[in-house]
Structure formats: C-alpha cells, structure tokens
Structure 1
Amino acid sequence: MPDTENTRLTAPSLPLGVLLSAGGGFLDAFTYVGHHGVFANAQTGNVVLLGISSATGHWADAVRHVPPLIAFVLGVLTAEALVLPRVARFVRRPMRLALVLEILVLAVLAVVPGGLGDTAVVVLVAYAAAVQATSFRTLRRWSYNSVMTTGNLRTATSAAFRAVAGQDREAAEQAGAFGAICLGFLAGAAAGAPLTLLLGDAATWPVAALLAIGLGLFLYDERRSR
C-alpha cells in the first residue's frame, strides 16, 4: 500500500480540514490585527496592499508586505523539497512534520518575552502556514486550500449550483464539505481578532492547541485508513 503522505493524499477527514481552515483564519486575523495590517496566509491581500502602497508612494507600508510573500514562497519550496525521493528517505512523515513545525512556531511566538517584532512574527507564521497549505491539499476526493478561503468559497458555490440545478448528490456533498471549510475559516478569523487584542502574541496558544487536535485527528485518520 502506498504511503499516503508521499502521495499527498490527506486522510479523508472533514473535521481535520475544518480545524486546519479555522487555524488559517485565526492566523490571518492575528497578524492583521496584531501586526499592523499584514496577512500571514492571504498573500493575495499582501500583493494588493503592496501594489496600492507602491502606487501611492507609501514605501514604508509597501515594504512591510514583502517579507511574508518571501516567507510564503520559501515555505512552499520547503514542503515540495520534503517529498523529493532523496529527502523522503530521511523525512518519512512530511505531513506530520508540517503540523508539528507549525505548532512549535506558534508556541515559540507565545512564550518569547517581549515578542519577536512584527516582521519576525509575520515571517514565521507565513512560512509555517505555507508548509501546511502545500502539505495538506486534499479534502476527501477534492483539492482545497487549508489556509485561504477564496478558492474554497468558489468551489462551494459552484458545487451548490450543480447540486440544485442538476440534482447532483456528489455536488451536494462537496458543497456541504466546502461550506463547512469556509465557515471554519470565518470562525477562526472571528476568534482570532478579539483574542489577539486581548492576549497579544499569547493568542497563538489557542490556535496551537487547535492544530494539536488536528494533528491527533490526522494520526487517527491515517491509522484508520491503513
């Protein structure tokens, strides 16, 4: 039986997908509210804000959006490198590693006295989120994004239309699953904003705990699928 991690097939768990998506929404709210309007996951937003700031001559604001973009690219490259055959000989469980890495990053951010500074925080979160997003790309039978919501919302809407217009049961299942993913992202963002205002960088503890639960679900689903 092929190794599900090396073939990039996440265990078919909707609860895991919802937890990962909620973590993604939480972290975008965390960096945007707590670290001067910069997104950790939503790089579309960073590109747009970078363009607006550059066009209006606000160069200091523009520069703030560059580090998370670079960190996100490096995170994607890291996740891709982990599944190369010569690397896979040493890293047998890259998807587990992706979640453990993100949990450790969030724990470090929560406990460092005085914080690491806005740029360092956003860079670390963007990097870890990119590793997660690249490692976890499959929900049941479909491709999805575990840290951003635009594509998931499009999929949910398209599937809902097919379900109603064509009485398509599989489309109805897909619409429900992706609707839950989008709601998870919204719930994470809604929780992330007030907790960040209340706790500062210590707000990463709740999302670290959420991802730890996700790791437990992943291990359970992996064992069950085998």
Structure 2
Amino acid sequence: MAATLRSRPEAVPVGLLLSAVGGFLDAYTFVGHGGVFANAQTGNVVLLGVGLVSGQVGEALRHLPPLVAFLVGLGVAESLARLPRRAPTPAVPRRPTRLVLAVEAVVLTVCGAVALPDVVVTVAVAFVVALQISTFTKVGDVPYNATVTTGNLRSLVAEIARWAGDRTPDAGRRAAALGGIVVAFASGAAVGAALTLTTGRAAAAAIVVVLVAVVVEARRRDPDDEP
C-alpha cells in the first residue's frame, strides 16, 4: 500500500477545488503546450504507443518526458512519506497541504509568466501533479483522485448501485460527493481549455488563485494542518 504525506481527509469544498485544478491543468497542457497531458498519464502512454507503431517517433516521444516527471514526482512523495519510518527526525513536512500547494502555485506562476518550451511546462506540471495526487487522497470517508477521473467514475457508479440496490444509508452521500468531484473535474477542464485558448500561458494565473483559495480553506478547516 502506498504511503501518503497526509493522512487526514479533505473537506468536500477542498476536494472539489482540487478536482477542478486537476481538470484545468490537463486542458492547459494539452491545449496550450503541444497536445500532451500533465495528469492523464494513460493518455500519454496510449499516444506514445500509437505514435511509435505508426512511425511518428518524434510525435510519440513528446509524451515521454511528462510521464517520467510524473513517476519521479510519485517517487519523491513516496520517499518523503516514508521518512519517519526510517528516522524519527522532523524530516517530513509538518504541513504537507501548504507545502505541496505552494510548490504547485510557484511552478504555475513561473509557467504563466515566462515563455518556456512546451516540454519544460509539461514536465514541471506533471511533477507537481504527482505530488498533489500523492497528498490528497480522501474527501471525508470517500477515496478519490483529484487529477484523473476514471476511478472516480467507477466509484460513483458503485455507490449509486449500493444506494439504489442495497439501500445503504451512506451510499447516497458518497455518490453525491463523487458526482461533485467528477463535475468539478470536467468544469475545470472546460474552463482551462477556454482560458488557454483565449489568454495562452497566462491562463495559469487563474489556477494559482484557486490554489491559494484551497490553502485558505484548508487552513480554516484544519488550523494545524498536520499529516
């Protein structure tokens, strides 16, 4: 079982905002930075394979750097989460929520302000997205993924089935939370695509504002913000 930097669940508003961020960033990199995904590594793997098989090697290899950056980000998060088990020093961050979101906000601020090559943007975003996915894993008692939606859709249908077929009391509440997360992800993707098409790289500024709002909301609900 994967270790996590943060064991406390998020409140529903925080989960919705983070899901919107996830959808936004995939649209931002795909629309504005060469048709490459930052979050949806399944898409990158598929397009990598298709490109190689069809002889479009250059096109295929564009999907490799963000995939590698995502894996590195997961490895960094996993290593940080396991540090206390190896050494009882304060090496792991006491406030992972603020740390991860601050790093993400700084990266996106730079991406929005500076004309960087597409590969630099997609690698940087994929890395911070990996940190996010490893940090925020539950909304209340509902496991979720704020950066891709396939698993959330499966869980949504399962909860609807439990609610409709088994009359499980809490299934309706869980289904509502997951439905909101799916809608937030799709809405974030739509807004991200629209802003990227109209404002280019500066669209990243909008998501920095959202990340600040997440930090404020998390701080309000969890003043200590400990793992």
Does the TM-score normalized on the shorter chain lie above 0.5? yes
Shift of residue 96 of structure 1? 1.8
CA deviation digits over 1:50-98, x for unaligned, max 9?
Answer: 1111111110011000000001011111212222214961322223211
Amino acid at match of 2:14: L
- Specify the alignment match of 1:46 in structure 2: 44
Contact residue 19 and residue 188 of structure 2 kept, 8 A? yes
Q: How many residues align?
A: 219
Structure 1 residues 29-40: aligned runs within 5 Å:
29-40=27-38
- Specify the alignment match of 2:7 in structure 1: 8
Q: Report SS of the residue matched to 2:188.
A: helix
Q: Which moved more, 1:70-79 or 1:85-94?
A: 85-94
- Specify the alignment match of 1:171 in structure 2: 171
Contact residue 144 and residue 152 of structure 2 kept, 8 A? yes
Shift of residue 157 of structure 1? 1.1
> Following the alignment from structure 1 to structure 2, what is the Cα–Cα distance between the partners of residues 131 and 30?
18
Structure 1 residues 199-218: aligned runs within 5 Å:
199-218=199-218
- Specify the alignment match of 2:72 in structure 1: 74
Shift of residue 142 of structure 1? 2.3
Q: Report SS of the residue matched to 1:169.
A: coil
- Specify the alignment match of 1:28 in structure 2: 26
Unaligned stretches of 5+ residues in structure 2: none
Q: CA RMSD in A?
A: 1.8
Contact residue 34 and residue 197 of structure 1 kept, 8 A? yes
Amino acid at match of 1:204: A
Unaligned stretches of 5+ residues in structure 1: none
Match of 1:61 among 42, 59, 62: 59
Structure 1 length normalisation: TM-score?
0.92
Contact residue 35 and residue 122 of structure 1 kept, 8 A? yes
Taking only the aligned residue pairs, the percentage that are identical comes to 42
- Specify the alignment match of 2:107 in structure 1: 105
Q: Report SS of the residue matched to 2:222.
A: helix
> Following the alignment from structure 2 to structure 1, what is the Cα–Cα distance between the partners of residues 111 and 88?
28
User: Runs of at least 4 residues of structure 1 off by over 6 A?
Assistant: none
Contact residue 82 and residue 94 of structure 1 kept, 8 A? no
> Following the alignment from structure 1 to structure 2, what is the Cα–Cα distance between the partners of residues 143 and 124?
26
> Following the alignment from structure 2 to structure 1, what is the Cα–Cα distance between the partners of residues 22 and 89?
26
Structure 2 length normalisation: TM-score?
0.91
- Specify the alignment match of 2:94 in structure 1: 92
Shift of residue 120 of structure 1? 0.1
Shift of residue 9 of structure 1? 2.0
